[in-house]
Structure 1
């Protein structure tokens, strides 16, 4: 299972891309099992907030920093933390 995360926005408008695969990252599958992308609220209109585009094996959503919490936050930080 592949998970891609793109963080964009913020004050500087910089993007950070990261991708992880459960074949090389055993913790990833456990994190994905706790996430329901269908229940993610749309991003609010907050100036300079980060936006996170999340793709889990083709299932995609975009979430604002203010709505990023719980298991979804853990997943995003795990994938972005592994970026090189």
Structure 2
């Protein structure tokens, strides 16, 4: 379970960084100040990319919390075994 989550975490991180880096930023240009476009015209590709980034970011945080929870439980278990072993001797 831990290895699967870790691989998924790395995969999502790579895709998230790639999508953010290759995002089209035409709307931030100076030419956008001119009224060549209708104010009600929407750019579907930007909406899709925005939703993809939001979804990947949510998955990133959820999986990071899950990995953290697994690590804390594992650390507590290992720590208790070591304490019991020391007290038993």
Q: Give the structure with the larger strand fraction.
A: 1
Report the TM-score, using the length of structure 1 for normalisation.
0.30
> Which structure carries more relative contact order (alpha carbon 8 Å, separation 6+)?
2
Structure of larger gyration radius? 2
Report the TM-score, using the length of structure 2 for normalisation.
0.29
Q: Give the structure with the larger helix fraction.
A: 2
